[in-house]
Amino acid sequence: MFEKLWNQFRRPRSDAGPSKTERQLEELNERVREFQRKGQYEYALGAAVEVGKLVEKYFGAEHPDFVWSLKDQAFFEQQLGDYRAAESHYQAAYDAAQSLFGAQDVETGRILHAQGKLYRAAGDHQRAASCFEEGLGILRSTG
C-alpha cells in the first residue's frame, strides 16, 4: 500500500533526472541526517524546518515528506528540551499522518510511539502510556 501511495505523490521524472526542488530536498534531508548523527540538534532542527517549508510550497501539506519533516522537527525540539513545541509538532504530524496514510498505518503508530517518548521524558506517564498503548497496538496490527 505504501508503494502505491508514494507513487501517487512522486513527480514524473524526465530522463534529465530529479528536478531542482527534488535535489534541494535531497541535500537538505542529508544535512538533517548529518547534523543528527553529530548530535547538532539545533542545526538539524533548522534544516528540518527548511525541508518542511520547501515540501509544503512545492508539493503541499498532503505529502509524505511534509509529515516526516514535522516528525523530525518534533524530535529535535524534544532533544533540545522544548517539549511544548515538540508536542505541537508531534500532534501535527499525527493528524497529517492519519489524514494521509490512515489511522491504522505503521507511520501513524510510529508517531504515536515517539509522542509517548516525549510524554515520558516530560514526566507525564499517563499520557505516555496512552500513546505507547495506542501506537504499539497499531504497529502490532500492521505486522
- Domain boundaries along the sequence of the chain: 19-141
Note the pTM of the prediction, 2 decimals: 0.85
Residue-level pLDDT at 14: 46
Please check the confidence at residue 16 and state whether its pLDDT lies above 90: no
- Output the nine-digit C-alpha cell for 41: 540538534
Residue-level pLDDT at 9: 52
pLDDT digits (tens, 9 = 90+) for 108-123: 999 999 999 999 999 9
Burial zone of 141 (CB within 10 Å; 0-12 exposed, 13-18 middle, 19+ buried): exposed
Residue-level pLDDT at 13: 46
Please check the confidence at residue 105 and state whether its pLDDT lies above 60: yes
Span 44-69, average pLDDT: 96
pLDDT mean across residues, the chain: 90
pLDDT-based confidence at residue 142 (cuts at 50, 70, 90): confident
Q: Give me the helix-helix angle, 106-122 and 64-79, nearest 10°.
A: 20
Give the start-end residues of each E strand in 21-65.
none
Q: Which CATH superfamily is domain 19-141 in?
A: Tetratricopeptide repeat domain (1.25.40.10)
Please check the confidence at residue 40 and state whether its pLDDT lies above 50: yes
What CA dihedral angle connects 39, 41, 44 and 50, to 10 degrees?
180
- Output the nine-digit C-alpha cell for 81: 528540551
pLDDT digits (tens, 9 = 90+) for 67-97: 999 999 999 999 999 999 999 999 999 999 9
Give the integer Cα–Cα distance in Å for 95 and 74. Answer: 13
